[in-house]
């Protein structure tokens, strides 16, 4: 399924996100979709889904280059859960929303996208981004992340 998503990213159809037709409520721009997704990422249900995967699987992933076959199974399950949640939620507010079209456009714009929302979206379309998320969580759980805030001092300029 992931390869199908990746393959479908190569052929973009922007008709679903017609920027010129702002008067038609059936058409939404890519930016509007991203705005809705930003809201979804803050919702408790999304946080719960993602936290479930992090808590359940962080010990399985090892910080080595070799990828075990079982990693792909976890990634596929994560992909399915996150994609389903986002698709279901967006269809409530955007009647003609197409996850396939959105992923296509996301991939086409990949080089110009920055920010946390895009990093999260990459975790369900890109295995290496997902693995990095899990390994970062593992490092936190194992106490291997340095807390830089303890070395910061805030001084008044007055």
Distance CA 38, CA 51 (A): 17
- The encoded tokens of residue 146 equal 């340095």
Tens-digit pLDDT profile for residues 10-63: 443 444 444 344 444 434 478 888 889 999 999 999 999 999 999 999 999 999
Confidence (pLDDT) at 39: 92
Share of the chain above pLDDT 70, in %: 74
d(CA 32, CA 99): 14
For the beta carbon of residue 88, count every other beta carbon within 10 angstroms: 12
Decide: pTM greater than 0.75. Answer: no
pLDDT in tens, 83-117: 999 999 999 998 888 888 888 888 787 777 777 78
**What number does CATH give the domain 62-142?**
1.20.1520.10
Spell out the domain ranges in the chain. 62-142
Per the listing, tokens 């994560």 go with 78
């Amino acid at each position: 399924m992931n390869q199908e998503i990746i393959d479908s990213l190569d052929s973009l159809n922007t008709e679903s996100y017609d920027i010129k037709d702002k008067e038609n409520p059936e058409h939404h721009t890519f930016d509007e979709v991203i705005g809705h997704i930003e809201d979804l990422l803050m919702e408790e249900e999304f946080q719960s889904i993602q936290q479930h995967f992090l808590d359940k699987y962080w010990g399985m992933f090892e910080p080595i280059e070799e990828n075990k076959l079982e990693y792909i199974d976890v990634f596929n399950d994560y992909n399915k859960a996150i994609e389903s949640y986002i698709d279901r939620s967006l269809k409530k507010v955007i009647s003609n929303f197409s996850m396939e079209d959105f992923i296509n456009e996301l991939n086409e714009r990949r080089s110009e996208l920055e920010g946390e929302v895009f990093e999260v979206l990459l975790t369900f379309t890109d295995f290496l981004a997902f693995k990095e998320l899990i390994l970062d969580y593992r490092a936190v759980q194992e106490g291997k992340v340095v807390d830089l805030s303890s070395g910061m001092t805030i001084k008044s300029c007055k």
